[in-house]
Amino acid sequence: MKKVLAGMVGMSLMVAAGCAQSPVKETAQLSEEARKRAQQSAKIHAELAGQYYRRGQYRVAIEEAEIALRSSPEYAPAYNVLGLVYMDLRENERARGNFEHALRIAPNDSDVHNNFGWFLCQRQPEQMELAVDHFMSALRDPLYEMPEKTYSNAGICVLKRNEFERAYAFFQKALVIRPHYPLAVLGLIEIDFKRGDLRAAKANITSYMQTYPPAPESLWLAIQIERAISDHQAEASYAFQLQRRFPDSSEAIALREGRLNHAR
């Protein structure tokens, strides 16, 4: 009888111990599930923010990014989108702050490095070398999906300072990765134009416009080339396309304001 009682007591203690541990495990599981749900919510809303940003719906993009951060306050892609939005809105301090915050959270994120480099190139050109450093940081990731874009961005940036050989090298690296990549091809044409080789620039921009879909950057470069060689009919044709297709682009605005030296 005593053995039976002892066994029952032992069983009771085991059951009690199990009951004491179960809530802890359940709490941990619930906490992990809640974290995963929060992370998934942040991902969804950050992706929505990116889509609205690409459509130029900046207010909604900001709202979606902020919803993402309420779900997961340290979600780097949301800060990355906010950086892009504030860059386009020319709120430079807020843009830089968001890019830097994203990099503190995710120091090896290639997309953030590329976007921050582009921000520095476009908005703070006195920090051009820092911009190039960020481009190179983006390229260190062997799994990065858009190295050709980053090499082209680096080429565009150093070309602003007329560093022709350095820009050429960046564009060529982009073309090795992805032959005929439009951004790099256009960059090489801009080198011809800036060097004063107008015959080559004219021939190449004509071929480019026949091969690739029109974009504000290519139309603007075409306008500048045609103006430089005084082909006013071709210039007017490209200007008409720019205003009709991309009236809200910075290039179309520059054209309306007569800023002939507008840089992309």
Q: What is the pLDDT of residues 18-49, one digit of tens each?
A: 444 555 555 556 577 777 888 889 999 999 99
Q: Do the domain assignments include residue 225?
A: no
Q: Who has greater pLDDT, 30 or 72?
A: 72
Query: Which amino acid makes up residue 246?
Result: F
| Percentage above 70 pLDDT, the chain | 87
Q: Do the domain assignments include residue 161?
A: no
Q: What is the pLDDT of residues 75-89, one digit of tens each?
A: 999 999 999 999 999
Alpha-carbon distances, residue 263 vs 104, 179, 249, 254 (angstroms): 31, 25, 13, 9
Domain count, the chain: 1
CATH number at residue 59: 1.25.40.10
Q: Do the domain assignments include residue 175?
A: no
Got the DSSP string for 50-86? Answer: HHHHHTT-HHHHHHHHHHHHHH-TT-HHHHHHHHHHH
Q: What is the pLDDT of residues 175-203, one digit of tens each?
A: 999 999 999 999 999 999 999 999 999 99
Tell me which DSSP letter residue 126 carries: G
Structural domain harbouring 76: 37-107
Q: What is the pLDDT of residues 145-162, one digit of tens each?
A: 999 999 999 999 999 999
Q: Read off the pTM.
A: 0.83
Q: pLDDT tier at 5 (50, 70, 90 boundaries)?
A: very low
